[in-house]
Structure 1
Amino acid sequence: MRALKALESGSASVRLRAALEVGTAADPGSVDALIERCAVEPDFHVRDMLTWALTRHSPSVTVPKLVDALGSERPQARSQALHTLSKVGDRQAWPAITRALLTDTDDAVARSAWRAAVVLVPDAGRIDLAEVLATQLGRGGRETQLSLSRAFVTLGAQVLPVLRAAGTDPAPGVREHAVATERLVRDPDTGFGYAVEEAKRIVALGPTAREE
């Protein structure tokens, strides 16, 4: 109880120690408080410790509560619940990773949804997931685009036809991101910056410049 109360301290270091203590004890009665704190915690390191504390509990306890948090009006609550589900890795949560979350207007939520989706998706759902993710190509700044590209890399070579199709999109930004991501899927060791610059060159020169 003392540690749970300390999660509300004005000191980030106190909250960090409290989250560590709560996770070490792994009392199922603390799960609700941990999830509630995730929704409002401003410090990245404390949020990371809160996620660790939640992973110390049985998925049978945490997953249903984390799924409930996905419906929150708070973007941070949705983002942190998705992040924690990706760390728990229980595929029973997969049906809760909806198209609405994968296309959430909040970039942090969308990025967390992409990361969770590629961890939780069953093998039979990879192509369908890739088709939804393809609707987000060209979205946001470098961090968001890199996050989406990494999701495609995790899905693997079987999604290349989806990226190939997206590479013909009328929007240059979508085409560039699709071509860069295709290169990364084919060669994950390629740097994202290099892949983007090469994609810009290919898009500028037209379809004949694309490598087979």
Structure 2
Amino acid sequence: MLIGDVARRSGVSARMLRHYDALGLVRPTGRTVGGYREYSAEDVRRIFHVESLRSLGLSLKQIGRALEDPAFTPSALVSDLIRQTEDRLAREKELLERLRAIDASTPTDWQGVLRIVELLRELDSTSAARRQQAVLAPPENVSVPAELLAEAVLTESDPHVAGALRWALARSGGGVATLRAGTHSQDAGVRRRAVLAIAGMPEAPGAVEALAHALGDPDTTVRRHAALALGRQGVVAAVPTLVGMVVEGSNDVDATEVLGTLSLDPGCTDLITTALVDELAAPTADSATRIRLAQALVELAGPTARKALRQLTHDDDGDVALVATALVEVLAERCPDDR
């Protein structure tokens, strides 16, 4: 077949066929009397092989090697293509996020677009100080989109920059959807940052639901962040985790404070007291743990907690009894009529 016939049947332009010939990819095996290229059936099959490999994203150089080099294994080629495609998708995703950030800022002119681009560049800086400055003092007349802040929160490792981002995000009142997606990340660090940010804006739509989901997270830190935030919102489901924090001595002062606030609800008082008393009786509770539990009891409302604390003044562990006695005296000074 002549080149025009091949082009019509294969869908490959005559210009590209000549290019293949020049590169040595597909050289017609014959020539007519007049010197025109003449392709055999085998040549046409090779053209389709080239086109199939091009559809996978191979360069013409890679295709030539794949067709001619017996040592060029398909598995290695496919692995390279996968990596290249993943890199390209990551770059395109980043570009899409930047475009969405610009669109969310509703720029009215190109100057506004450029200011957002400047902000994005600063947030990508390797300098933590510059990233923090970009959050606290964005370019003039630039309203930082909440989704952009939320994305930055999920990836920021510097504690000072992260704090600035959470502050700015809480002020914006948005970005919860992005943060909720972050709570499902396989990376525990991302989940921690997401829950900590949501905890800073518990009244935002969907925040409580996201925090409640985080109570079941496999990561201890995620659960603790969620429990403290939910407890401050009066959510009783946080009680077991908060009590566990007192037992473990992790943020136990904060957990005790939140348990005290929760105990002001008559429906929670006995639940919390019972949980603390059960832990006091646990065979694994050492002296330091029981002292922390006693300190938690003194913050609770209700007579049951006070009764449990008085019983501890006669505890077999002298250190626990001494601390409980001191705490009872504190209660007596706080509530003289409750001796």
- Normalised to the residue count of structure 1, the TM-score between the two structures is 0.69
In structure 1, give the amino acid aligned to 2:276: L
1:48-59 map, 5 Å: 48-58=163-173
1:83-136 CA deviation, whole Å, 9 max, x = no partner?
22222121642222236x336554432332222212334xxx42x431343344
Is residue 129 from structure 1 mapped to residue 238 from structure 2 by the alignment?
Answer: yes
Asked which structure has the greater CA Rg, the reply is 2
Alpha carbons 1:107, 1:144 under 8 Å: kept:
no
Alpha carbons 1:102, 1:133 under 8 Å: kept:
no
Offset, 1:37: 2.1
The number of aligned residues is 189
In structure 1, give the amino acid aligned to 2:247: G
Is residue 156 from structure 1 mapped to residue 263 from structure 2 by the alignment?
Answer: yes
- Equivalent residue number for residue 130 of structure 2: 14
Q: 1:86 to 1:165 in 2, by over 3 A?
A: same
Q: Distance in 2 between matches of 1:114 and 1:2?
A: 38
Which of residues 115, 118, 137 in structure 2 aligns to 1:2? 118
Q: 1:21 to 1:202 in 2, by over 3 A?
A: farther
Q: Distance in 2 between matches of 1:203 and 1:4?
A: 62
Structure 2: gaps spanning 5 or more residues: 1-116, 302-311, 329-339
1:45-194 map, 5 Å: 45-58=160-173, 61-90=174-203, 92-98=206-212, 101-102=214-215, 104=217, 106-121=219-234, 125-126=235-236, 128-139=237-248, 142-157=249-264, 158=269, 159-173=272-286, 174-185=289-300
Offset, 1:33: 2.9
Q: Distance in 1 between matches of 2:315 and 2:216?
A: 27
- Equivalent residue number for residue 204 of structure 1: 317
Alpha carbons 1:111, 1:147 under 8 Å: kept:
no
Q: Distance in 2 between matches of 1:42 and 1:32?
A: 18
- Normalised to the residue count of structure 2, the TM-score between the two structures is 0.47
Which of residues 143, 151, 157 in structure 2 aligns to 1:42? 157
Structure 1: gaps spanning 5 or more residues: 187-198
Offset, 1:75: 2.4
Q: 1:18 to 1:69 in 2, by over 3 A?
A: same
Q: 1:156 to 1:167 in 2, by over 3 A?
A: same
Offset, 1:16: 0.5
1:39-86 CA deviation, whole Å, 9 max, x = no partner?
23222111111001111223xx42222222211222232222222222
In structure 2, give the amino acid aligned to 1:181: A
Bigger relative contact order (CA 8 A; separation at least 6): 1
Q: 1:150 to 1:105 in 2, by over 3 A?
A: farther
